[in-house]
Amino acid sequence: GRRSVYVDAFEHALSTVLDDEGHLFDDAERTVFAAWRGLGYGARYLYVRLFLRKTAAWHRVAALGYRDDIADMAGAVAALQQPRELPPPEQTPSEEQPHPAELEPPPEGTTLGRSFTFADSSEDGITTLEEASGLLRLDELKAMAGGARTQGKTKGELLDAFRRDSKGQTGLVLTARPNEADRAVGTPSRRSDINTSTNNEDDDDNDGDENDSHVGSDRKPRQRQQQHLVRRIMAGTGPCIRLSLPALRLFERVHLVFFRSTEWTEKSLTAVLLARFSRRNFPPYVISRSANVFASRAALLEFEAALRAQARVDAALEPGGGGGAAATGARLESVLEEWDRVAARWRALLADERRKEDAVYLSGEGAYLRRLSPAWVYTRIAHKAALALGRLGMRAREHALLDELLAQRLFHPARRGAWYQRKALLEERYMASVTTPPGPGGEDEAARRKRWRRTALRTCERGLEDPLVHLVHHHDLQRRVAKLERALRVARRLQHDFAHVRLARAVEVRVEGVRVEARPRPRPDGNGASGASGAGTRTTWLDPADPAGAATCGVEQLCLARYAARGWRGLHAEGGVLRTLFGLLMFEVLFGAYVPHVFQTAFQTCPVDLLAEGGCFAAARPAELAGQLARLANGEAEPMLRAVWAAHRPRRTCVVGLDWGFELADLCAIVRCFPGEALAAVCRVLAQEYAKRGAGVPDLLLWDEGRGEVMFAEVKSENDRLSEAQRLWIHVLTGAGVRVELCKVVASEVRVV
């Protein structure tokens, strides 16, 4: 029969999951899968296309644009909307049940009952004005509300006003221009039709006390008016279809298992579809799916529930929520409520994961499989709860939670440095005033503050000694140690000396240029002026490379032009060039070395442990990595690069961090100028800490083939400061023998145009 890449991709994910992990689904769910496979081609095609769209939205059947692919659209819609029976629920042994005290049930209407449909029908599903009016196009909405007091420019504004007005006035449509409004949705335009329809409602609703208040007496006419508006809108739109939530959530769970997702997303087939369309190609590697990622169905359901809770926490902390301080406080409180619901379960799972780390996981395997544990998600919620406690001023609770987070070492180790930093700050500034210490009675405030400062000093020391704390946090902890030792008047001979671990500095150079500013213009609203550059805005400069002196450029291009005048070629790519070189030079290590379970699907751009915390990628491939780094140190980088480029550039194989937009000649010139030992050192750092080292690479990469040298440059304005990540990269590159310059850009002249 007919085939479609959309249906093939969908069924590939389903078949893979059922073959490897079918035990995660019960009889009712397997009945849904069997019913799916029994659908005709047109119905399956329509379902998948709607699955890839706004899945919770209604769609007009008449407006669906798949007529060339679906011969019988009405039949496909009917098949998806046909009710189907399900077997009775299984009796699961109590020990396999999820933990009801810690897990809230799934949202209402998202679980399978005794019957199901693949899609809902608007005839039964659209009953409110909110749902019906959302189907209107902008022109239809304007026509429908044109004669009323409804105002608004965008569809969202018009919808809000239309719904508000329809609830507040019974004569909304009666006062609208009937001919235009009715033509918009294709309904009769006779006013008598409206009056008749309104007055001939079932009179059962009229059985009430005639002495009701004015508000009460108005409610039923308003309800009848809204019901009439719903029918009127639906008569114009025609039948609509929406994917049924229980089946939809089930297929989303299938994709969560297939893709090993750690975030709650609605779409997951993009990579598969692009591969099927041959628009995206993935490297060749051996797939080794781990069938025991989720030990049981209960574990999968708990992980799914944890992702939902995480999504709610993220939404509550999303900036720009509006509503003022009260609304912000309510959102922060909701984060704490989410945390309180999972805190006990988190603590129980921590003990279980410690046992598995010691007895179950293969060497290093737990570091990336652990990301699919509910405890990983709960730990992230705990981290967000600590942020909320800090913003709410609940210092004692925040401090106690940070203690708990630091007591475990398995989840989110990359955050440990930030936890130490925050804990030390709380102990230095706040804890003396918010707690009553268990010390001797009569301890005054000064003594209490001094005791907490000593505690803060010990916290910083433990952070510096913790092997899981990344170097990016050491500078801040070292500065706080020095500050606390001064405050505690520690004898100089007893103070810490960090000179031996002080980071190398870049060579500072001064770059001058002519800055161009737009002439300030008064704003239309009269508030201030527009056009003037301010903090955070990118500056514009005259391009020194333009002979006419009229072209402008950004600050990085200004520096590149200054270096070009000295014989250097360069690229403004920040870390893009280094990540591309890593992808090309480490290709065999990334995809050729066999490590169990790191390639779970055929649509990965890297093994999953490369982005995991704790350096497990390098630890799992010591021999392969050492061999490749030795070849780089011996000067073999260019032939290695050319071989991978020739094999994979024609297909533009998708590799993490690799940008095929760079020119091969430039990349070859760079590796010829890059000292072999230095290039090996850079690749070793990325192999050990790829996710953590993504930021901070200097802005400019420069090379001079005449000198056979490579150099990096970080561009800063006079008042900018280096971030800790930038300091670390400068230290790594300088330590490897590569020159790094810090370009301080100053304006020798400012021109207003």
Burial (Cβ within 10 Å: 0-12, 13-18, ≥19) of residue 82: middle
Same domain membership, residue 409 and residue 386: yes
Amino acid, single-letter form, for residue 568: W
Separation in Å, CA 193 to CA 129, 173, 199, 200, 499? 19, 12, 10, 10, 88
The sheet with strand 552-553 has its strands ordered as 552-553, 540-542, 507-517, 739-752, 709-717, 700-704, 569-572
- Rounded (5°) CA angle 463-466-468: 115
Spatial distance between the Cα atoms of 463 and 466, rounded to a whole number of angstroms: 5
Separation in Å, CA 96 to CA 299, 301, 313, 351? 9, 12, 28, 18
| Domain annotation covers residue 102 | no
Burial (Cβ within 10 Å: 0-12, 13-18, ≥19) of residue 584: buried
pLDDT at 177: 39
> What are the DSSP E strand ranges found in 433-517?
507-517
Residue (of 232, 233, 131, 227) closest to 170 by Cα position: 227
- Rounded (5°) CA angle 489-492-493: 130
Helix, strand, coil percentages in the chain from 3-state DSSP, rounded to 5: 55, 10, 35
Neighbour tally for 417: CB within 10 Å: 22
Who contacts 433 (Cβ-Cβ below 8 Å, separation ≥6)?
445
pLDDT at 415: 92
Neighbour tally for 89: CB within 10 Å: 12
Structure tokens at 328: 């912000």
Who contacts 677 (Cβ-Cβ below 8 Å, separation ≥6)?
633, 736, 737
| Domain annotation covers residue 282 | no
| Residue 751, beta-bridge partner list | 516
Who contacts 643 (Cβ-Cβ below 8 Å, separation ≥6)?
none
Amino acid, single-letter form, for residue 440: P
Same domain membership, residue 134 and residue 34: no
SS3 letters for 96-153? Answer: HCCCCCCCCCCCCCCCCCCEECCEEEHHHHCCCHHHHHCCCCHHHHHHHHCCCCCCCC
Same domain membership, residue 338 and residue 450: yes
| Domain annotation covers residue 525 | no
Burial (Cβ within 10 Å: 0-12, 13-18, ≥19) of residue 444: exposed
Same domain membership, residue 476 and residue 609: no
Strands 739-752 and 709-717: parallel
| Domain annotation covers residue 699 | yes
Residue 547 has what DSSP assignment? T
Spatial distance between the Cα atoms of 420 and 541, rounded to a whole number of angstroms: 42
Spatial distance between the Cα atoms of 108 and 104, rounded to a whole number of angstroms: 11
pLDDT at 405: 98
Question: Across the chain, which distance is largest between two alpha carbons, in Å?
Answer: 98
Amino acid, single-letter form, for residue 219: R
173-196 pLDDT per residue, tens: 433 333 444 444 443 333 333 333
Q: What is the tally of structural domains in the chain?
A: 4
Same domain membership, residue 192 and residue 74: no
Same domain membership, residue 722 and residue 683: yes
pLDDT at 720: 83
656-683 pLDDT per residue, tens: 999 999 999 999 999 999 999 999 999 9
Residue (of 543, 537, 540) closest to 560 by Cα position: 543
Amino acid, single-letter form, for residue 136: L
pLDDT at 168: 56
Residue keyed to tokens 């770059």: 511
Structure tokens at 414: 């990359």
Who contacts 210 (Cβ-Cβ below 8 Å, separation ≥6)?
none
| Domain annotation covers residue 528 | no
Spatial distance between the Cα atoms of 76 and 43, rounded to a whole number of angstroms: 4
Neighbour tally for 386: CB within 10 Å: 26
Which strand (E) or helix (H) includes residue 352? helix 324-359
| Domain annotation covers residue 283 | no
| Domain annotation covers residue 77 | yes
Length of the chain: 753
Same domain membership, residue 697 and residue 627: yes
Helix-helix angle 576-585:664-673, to 10 degrees: 90
Same domain membership, residue 259 and residue 229: no
| Domain annotation covers residue 124 | no
728-738 pLDDT per residue, tens: 999 999 999 99
Ramachandran angles phi, psi of 483, nearest 5°: -65, -45
CATH code, domain carrying 340: 1.25.40
Strands 552-553 and 540-542: antiparallel
Residue 183 has what DSSP assignment? H
Low-confidence ranges of the chain (pLDDT < 50): 93-102, 147-148, 170-217, 532, 535
Neighbour tally for 628: CB within 10 Å: 25
Same domain membership, residue 230 and residue 369: no
Spatial distance between the Cα atoms of 515 and 541, rounded to a whole number of angstroms: 4
Structure tokens at 134: 């959302």
What average pLDDT is seen over the chain? 82
Who contacts 294 (Cβ-Cβ below 8 Å, separation ≥6)?
21, 24, 257, 300, 303, 372
Same domain membership, residue 357 and residue 265: no
Same domain membership, residue 598 and residue 453: no
Expressed as residue numbers, the domain containing 261 is: 5-89+109-118+244-276
Spatial distance between the Cα atoms of 587 and 581, rounded to a whole number of angstroms: 10
State pTM to two decimals. 0.79
Same domain membership, residue 461 and residue 386: yes
